[in-house]
Amino acid sequence: MLHHIALTKIKLALLIRKGDIRFGGNKPLKIYGMLSCNSGKRIKTANRVFFKSEEEAIKNGYRPCGHCMSNEYRTWKKANGVNPSQSSGSSLQYHGSVRN
């Protein structure tokens, strides 16, 4: 796991180009998703982390984004016994915010 604040723009671009960074995450919410996710792009730099693989994100206790990784998120919900009635209505928690 790499913290965004520890990387320069050039280093970040190089790591993405080389494939060493493939997913981004929200550290406080423990959510990971695709680098292209609009929700993920709104994360404050201080809260953004990067992963090389989904396995690395999961190993660090992160769950898939409900927006850009909806299939993986549904699988995660089933595997972790998350009941839709436990959340308010049909809201999903995304990278950058909580939608109601």
Query: Which two tokens mark 71?
Result: 């299939």
Q: How many CB atoms lie within 10 A of CB 54?
A: 16
E strand residue ranges, 1-100:
2-3, 23-26, 31-34, 48-51, 63-64
What is the average pLDDT across 3-18? Answer: 97
Q: What is the CATH number of domain 2-85?
A: 3.40.10
Contact 95, 43 (CB under 8 A): yes
Contact 53, 22 (CB under 8 A): yes
Confidence of residue 84 (pLDDT cuts 50, 70, 90): low
pLDDT, one tens digit per residue, over 29-66 is 999 999 999 999 999 999 999 999 999 999 999 999 99
Beta bridge partners of 33: 24
CB-based burial label for 64 (10 Å; 0-12, 13-18, 19+): buried
pTM, whole model, 2 decimals?
0.81
The domain segmentation of the chain, as residue ranges, is 2-85
Q: Given a cut of 70, is residue 94 above it in pLDDT? A: no
Contact 50, 25 (CB under 8 A): yes
What pLDDT is attached to residue 97? Answer: 45
